[in-house]
Chain A
Amino acid sequence: MSLPTLAVWKFASCDGCQLTLLDCEDELLALAGRVRIASFTEASSEVLPGPYDVSLVEGSITTPADERRIREVREQSRVLVTIGACATSGGIQALRNFGDVAEFAASVYASPEFISTLGTSTPISAHVPVDFELRGCPIDRHQLLETLGAFLAGRKPDLPDTSVCTECKRRGLTCVTVADGTPCLGPVTHAGCGALCPAHNRGCFGCFGPMAKPNTAALLPILRTCGMDEAAVGRVFATFNAAAPDFAAVSRERRS
């Protein structure tokens, strides 16, 4: 029986999520024995023609060419999994959605007329059907392996959709908000990192994006009590998952 094929695709991003695959140092060679890596240009010059059993898609859609390319990737892919904040919510570059991209281009480039870009940065699901979205900026290595293993086995990944708070409790960490008055997005942020920031005595800044049905309205007074003014509340929700609807709603209210 031939091995299932895996393809990895990049759109607008920092490469960090696909690098997570290469960061599976202990599992990489074993994985390479279980799947045929058919297209992964960050790691290999060899590209096999599709269709592909599983495609991992990193990055957001920011150019007219990428709007077309993602449709080709979808047509070539039996299962399409997006990896990371850019691909699932537009990434940090989605801050342009709330500004004027022509002005952004003029402020960075002397001749913005040479720059081909869309006025928005949008997640993959805004363009094509997506089978599964893996959260994080960047994604977590263990969640990636679980997701890959699941789709290669033909099942759904077994991943939590609760909040970072549940991971914090499971680790036995003292709540940074309760103990120190540190502002923390843990109560509304999707689980997956293992409560990294609280473990380092820092409030969660929401890099895994909103959990399912987050109660942001309940969190806002706590953030204010912890010393954040309205502008700071707006900024913390407008970071790596700025265009995720539940976070965008909070930051949009605070934009002048």
Chain B
Amino acid sequence: MTARRLVVNAIARVEGEGALRLVVDDGRVHTAELNIYEPPRFFEALLRGRAWTEPPDITARICGICPVAYQTSACNALEAACGAELDGPLADLRRLLYCGEWISSHALHIHLLHAPDFLGYPDGIAMAAGHREAVERGLALKKTGNALLELIGGRAIHPVNVRVGGFYSVPSRADLAPMRERLLGALDQAREVVRWVSGFDFPDHEVGHDLLSAREPGRYPIDRGTVVTSTGAEFPAAEFPEHVVERQVPHSTALHASLDGRRYLTGPLARYSLNSALLGPVAREAAAEAGLGTECRNPFRSIVVRAVEVVYAVEEAIRLIDGYERPDRPAVEITPRAGTGHGVSEAPRGLLYHRYTLDEAGLVTAAAIVPPTSQNQAAIEDDLCRLAGTRLDLGDDALALFCERVIRNHDPCISCATHFLDLTVIRR
């Protein structure tokens, strides 16, 4: 057996730290182990003993790129525990805030993290030398997403205005009016992004993973919903633990999840394939122009799906602003009680599940958080196994770069669970 150890100065352009160990046996990839070595931060443990009001602010700090996802899943779970639900303009505002995060996070991933893979640049800034207009357009979109986050949430990273039951303050229709104008411009930009990325050169690859996403009646899933799978199951968030089981693997600080005992995928490909009929008309037209069918199972094309989802998030934000009436009060009244609540929402990189158990005083006695990255880890390893197997003729450096692309297709947010892909290839 010959073991070669390659130290590569990346997984770059993901959020977090990881290493990859490939075992190649007789010309075939035998195992691919993605080791997430982000230092553990023990959020579920340090949430114990905190008041029911605190998880949205605390869990936001799990991820600087998708804090709204953490805040929303936490609110959904705590509201369920207390028997409350948002409706009307408060529910619309929560979805509008989340649209801001989708626009900002997807624009970041598409332009600064993912597109450089297709165009042969080390990063988005270098890519600007040859594609200045595209990078500037991407930054402008990202800025619009951040402006929406700041308008509703007070801050783009770790918004301060979110609370269980709603918000601390709510905007007036007049406050939202300038944002509507800005979003109209963003809609044109987002459609241009779909055209741009759909012209990239995509390796042929179809994955067979089971798929899982949220489902909302009559509209594309973002801020809440039941859970649906490609195997035909549909169940409320409260039954998530019966279907999705996390287990620890020795090679990673991130837990591995399985769906009814099987490997599965959550995130843009799953969301789109299970819900494409629910997109708005502009996003649906953009998807058709980009050559996406009703489903998409090529992980390299996830960049196109993300771009379509940006169109949708902009379109949806305009719709929500048009229908907005300022609510009488910024939050529904919540009376904490003993019990357990479950909550899901669609983080830009996939379904995010939270569960809290409260005591009679409204203090958290137990917390469980299942982030998209741990759900997707088995699927990413399977992609690596299959795809690296098609490129074993590459030298070690090129093979490592290709493996990074395979990982970045899934936009893994490894700080969920620090940045170097330390690749070990064992050929035997």
Name the one of A15, A18, A62, A92 contacting B46, with C-beta atoms under 8 angstroms.
A92
Are B161 and A108 within 8 A (Cβ)? no
B99 to chain A, nearest CB (A): 17
Are B64 and A17 within 8 A (Cβ)? yes
B125 within 8 A of A: yes
Q: Which residues 352-378 of B have a CB within 8 angstroms of A? A: none
A121 to chain B, nearest CB (A): 8
B88 within 8 A of A: no
Q: For residue A108, which residues in chain B have a CB less than 8 angstroms away from its CB? A: 40, 42, 44-45
A43 in contact with B125 given A25-B139, A199-B154, A232-B51 (CB within 8 Å): yes
Smallest CB-CB separation from A242: which chain B residue?
B46
Q: For residue A28, which residues in chain B have a CB less than 8 angstroms away from its CB? A: 125, 139
A163 within 8 A of B: no
Considering the chains assembled together, what is the distance between the CA atoms of A114 and B64 in angstroms? 26
A42 within 8 A of B: yes
Are A29 and B65 within 8 A (Cβ)? no
Considering the chains assembled together, what is the distance between the CA atoms of A103 and B250 in angstroms? 19
Among B10, B125, B161, the one with the most A-chain Cβ atoms within 10 Å of its Cβ is: B125
B30 within 8 A of A: no
Among A44, A46, A101, the one with the most B-chain Cβ atoms within 10 Å of its Cβ is: A44
Q: Which residues 38-87 of A have a CB within 8 angstroms of B? A: 40-47, 59, 62-63, 66
Q: Which of A5-13, A152-160, A213-221 contacts B (4 or more CB under 8 A)?
A: A5-13
A20 in contact with B157 given A29-B135, A96-B42, A202-B168 (CB within 8 Å): yes
Q: For residue A44, which residues in chain B have a CB less than 8 angstroms away from its CB? A: 12-13, 122-123, 125-126
Q: For residue A107, which residues in chain B have a CB less than 8 angstroms away from its CB? A: 42, 44-45, 48
B165 within 8 A of A: no
Are B155 and A196 within 8 A (Cβ)? yes
Are A29 and B158 within 8 A (Cβ)? no
B15 within 8 A of A: yes
Q: Which of B180-188, B216-224, B334-342, B414-422 contacts A (4 or more CB under 8 A)?
A: B414-422
Instruction: Indicate the size class of the contact surface on chain A.
Output: 35 or more
Are A10 and B419 within 8 A (Cβ)? yes
Are B112 and A43 within 8 A (Cβ)? yes
Are B248 and A114 within 8 A (Cβ)? yes
Considering the chains assembled together, what is the distance between the CA atoms of A19 and B154 in angstroms? 17
A202 in contact with B160 given A29-B136, A114-B248 (CB within 8 Å): yes
Q: Mark B399-428, 1 if CB is under 8 A from A, else 0.
A: 001001000000000010011100000000
A126 to chain B, nearest CB (A): 16
Smallest CB-CB separation from B17: which chain A residue?
A10
Are B157 and A16 within 8 A (Cβ)? yes
Considering the chains assembled together, what is the distance between the CA atoms of A137 and B128 in angstroms? 30
Are B250 and A15 within 8 A (Cβ)? no
A207 in contact with B158 given A93-B41, A108-B45 (CB within 8 Å): yes
Pairs across A and B, CB under 8 Å, 9 listed: A11-B39, A40-B123, A62-B41, A93-B42, A107-B42, A108-B42, A114-B253, A196-B154, A197-B160
